[in-house]
Chains A and B, each alone.
Chain A
Amino acid sequence: MFRRDSSHEAAFRAEVRTWLAANLPPELRGRANRPPPDKLMPWYRALSHKGWIAPHWPKEYGGMGATLNEQIIMTEELARAGAPQLPAQGLNHIGPLLMEFGTAAQKAEHLPPIIAGTVIWAQGYSEPGAGSDLASLATRATLEGDHFVVQGQKIWTTWGHHSDWMFALVRTDPQAQPRHAGISFLLLDLKSPGITIRPIVTIAGDDEFSEVFFDEVAVPAENLVGKLNDGWRIANALLGHERLGTSNPQFALMALERIKIMARASGVMAEPAFRDRLAEASINVMTLSALFNHAVELTNRRRSPGHEASIIKIFGTELLQSLNDLLIEAAGSEAALQNPIPTDFGAVEVSTPFLQARRATIYGGSSEIQRNIIARRVLKLPQ
């Protein structure tokens, strides 16, 4: 939208588009829910086999080492094809984090399976008593000889019950002040004895997340990332990447397509008042694309977009919700139907994406926490 492809880029775009048309299974296209692992991981591995699973990773770790423009082209073409959301904890979180902070052994053990799609990662940050106030987390890890003993509970763990490994923040110094100075960053094999995982059903009807219990779980000391009690800094170093990843315009673009189909089918597209709001929404989606391009530019130059990335998280997720408001408005009395709504232009999911959108302003730091961060770190307002 904001760039003209060079001839090399145009060729790359055409290659991606053709390949997606031939290889992305129809049942995975345009879905509001993430498909279960037995459906999704074959697609993940197909992208991996093609060499396209990690455009943003350097070649030395098995990524594409793609240019900024190639990354944006990949994003745009995946969105255009309605590709499903991949599990991102490995690709966007622990992968880049290990590249920066991991030992040679940790990189050698963990990075190749992320690329290959043979290991799924979960993030263990939130706890029942530590949501927005994450630094109050209480899951204990006590060093006993050559291993840690982990005791406690994590919750809201996306794909926890489908995952093989977890990267977690754990308390290694209960006395530390400030509290985040007593937190370490640990890698846990979820098959270890003493771990119980229970799925949690969401308001959207899926079991995307779970709670994970640790009862005297032994974790080898070499699974510590970085130094003891330095976990908070490590986890925060790449938070910008997460905020960026969750604000990919792909989801807003897909929401816009649903609105257009639903509004055509229901006839509301002819209403000037509705068209005005759809124009405003379209301009906001265009703005999100601009913001995303801008942030990717900065990321590529400085490695991390910094706290400014919080504005993308707020803008992108609140936009996603307003788009879904427009979607249920377009659906009229069919808004609350549970299943996709059949129309002359294909079936449209309405209630599922609307409900799914509630989570966006909560996970990865709620909109309110993001506003606190910007007020303090960017605007430097008094505390």
Chain B
Amino acid sequence: MELHLTTEQTLLRDSAAKFIATAGPKVAHTMRGREPSFAPERLRRAGELGWLGMLVPSSADGLGLGLTELALVIEQAGRGLACEPIGFAAIAAAALAQGPAPHPMLQRLMRGDALVVPALQENAHGLDLIAPRTQAAPRERAPRLTGVKTSVCADGADGFLASANGPDGPALYYVAREAPGVSITATQTVEGRKLATLALNDAPADLVPPRQSSRGAVEALTDLALFALSAELLGVMVGAQELAFEYLRVRRQFDKPIGAFQALQHKAVDIYIKTETTRSLLYQIANANDPYRMEPALVAAIKAKASADALAVTQACIQLHGAIGFTDEHDIGLYLKRAMLLSSMLGNAAAQRRRYIEITGLGI
């Protein structure tokens, strides 16, 4: 179902779609395994368009927009398989803009001249997101971090927003990539980019303060990251179904387009229902939540649903393509691989359901 958008929101979505289509899946094929796995000049262009500072208040030179605008842009990034980590950059900027004085990295990050990404995970199921084992000490002088962060999208990153257990409980810290005590081991994924393990050994860091009157900085960034991943997963579903539905119209067998067969039509509708229900849930949540004070149960719910549905949709889209869908040359496989990566990050569908149960107690 169409969204009820303002004129400004429609323009933003359309300009994002236009920009992202200039690269698209064809470029995504060529970026696989590269270092970095995206085009730095396109990240800068996203910065010029204001997207990386989308959530940053206008007092810190950002656009001061909300979750709906964030989702509209990131959905397009997923749909066009953009390789630039626009979502992670935008939420990292939001985090660095907090506190009495914005972090020195903020301006470069918003321009796309530098990249900062979240490093929140310590476990393959995202079990330690809110209670990290990485330690930050001591209180008296500049903090230093010791611990291991996993599944970090470190490609091209100049710094990280790492969660750690500080003197006052879980807190968020900025760690520069080149800081002493930081060592990175990157492993190739099927999707194109690498996932890194970040070993921190007494690495110097800056405390990133939470926004006044908001939830803790770690919780706020975790929820923003889960929401951004969900928005991109929605875009992946949309892009994959567009390819598959077009194929149903043009591919002919038994002297007619295969889309005329009811068995395939009903499969197509099941794909469409998954996409559209994810869209409704995502944008209703966007509409109802402040970026720094999201309802964690809603966030767990949308990441659970988007993760499960994106995997199901992209797999079904390969099936609709038949043998050509199983080739590396065709774009549809890239959508499945993007879904594999994003759905697994910060806790997959099953892990999010466990989180949902912890948060809500299932209402009993």
Contact = CB atoms under 8 A, between A and B. Distances in A.
Interface of A: 1-4, 256, 260, 264, 269, 275-276, 278-280, 282-284, 286-287, 289-291, 293-295, 297-298, 301, 305, 308, 311, 314-315, 368, 371-372, 374-375, 378-379, 381-383
B34 interface: no
A276 B353 contact: yes
A297 B288 contact: no
Interface of B: 1-2, 4, 245, 248-249, 256-257, 259-260, 262, 265-266, 268-270, 272-273, 276-278, 280-281, 283-285, 287-288, 298, 301, 304-305, 350, 353-354, 356-357, 360, 362-364
B354 A287 contact: no
A113 to B, nearest CB: 34
Nearest to A373: B269
Contacts of A264: 364
B260 A311 contact: no
B281 A4 contact: no
Residue from the set A2, A4, A264, A284 with the largest chain B CB neighbour count within 10 Å: A2
B266 A311 contact: no
Contacts of B249: 381-382
Contact of B277 (A1, A278, A291, A378): A291
The 9 closest A-B pairs by CB, nearest first: A375-B265, A290-B284, A381-B259, A2-B288, A279-B353, A382-B257, A2-B284, A290-B281, A371-B269
A271 to B, nearest CB: 12
A193 B308 CA distance: 58
B277 A382 contact: no
Contact of B363 (A260, A291, A315): A260
B168 to A, nearest CB: 30
Contacts of A378: 272
Nearest to B260: A382
Given A260-B364, A290-B284, A294-B1, A381 B268 contact: yes
Contacts of B305: 283-284, 287
Contacts of B281: 286-287, 290-291
A381 B362 CA distance: 40
A353 B93 CA distance: 50
25 contacts: A2-B285, A4-B288, A264-B364, A275-B362, A276-B350, A279-B354, A279-B357, A282-B363, A283-B304, A283-B356, A286-B301, A287-B280, A287-B281, A290-B281, A294-B1, A308-B2, A311-B277, A371-B265, A371-B269, A372-B262, A378-B272, A381-B245, A381-B257, A382-B256, A382-B257
Contacts of A1: 288, 298
Contact of A276 (B265, B280, B285, B354): B354
Contacts of A275: 357, 362
Contact of A305 (B1, B278, B301, B364): B1
Given A311-B273, A314-B273, A379-B272, A372 B356 contact: no
A283 B357 contact: no
Contacts of B362: 260, 269, 275, 278-279, 282
B283 A294 contact: yes
Which of B260, B262, B285, B353 has the most chain A CB atoms inside 10 A of its CB? B353
B98 to A, nearest CB: 23
A378 B115 CA distance: 41
A376 B276 CA distance: 17
Given A284-B305, A286-B281, A375-B266, 6 more contacts: A2-B284, A2-B285, A260-B364, A315-B273, A381-B245, A382-B259
Which residue among B280, B301, B350 has the maximum number of chain A CB atoms within 10 Å of its CB?
Answer: B280
Contacts of B283: 294
Nearest to A283: B301
A381 B271 CA distance: 14
B116 to A, nearest CB: 31
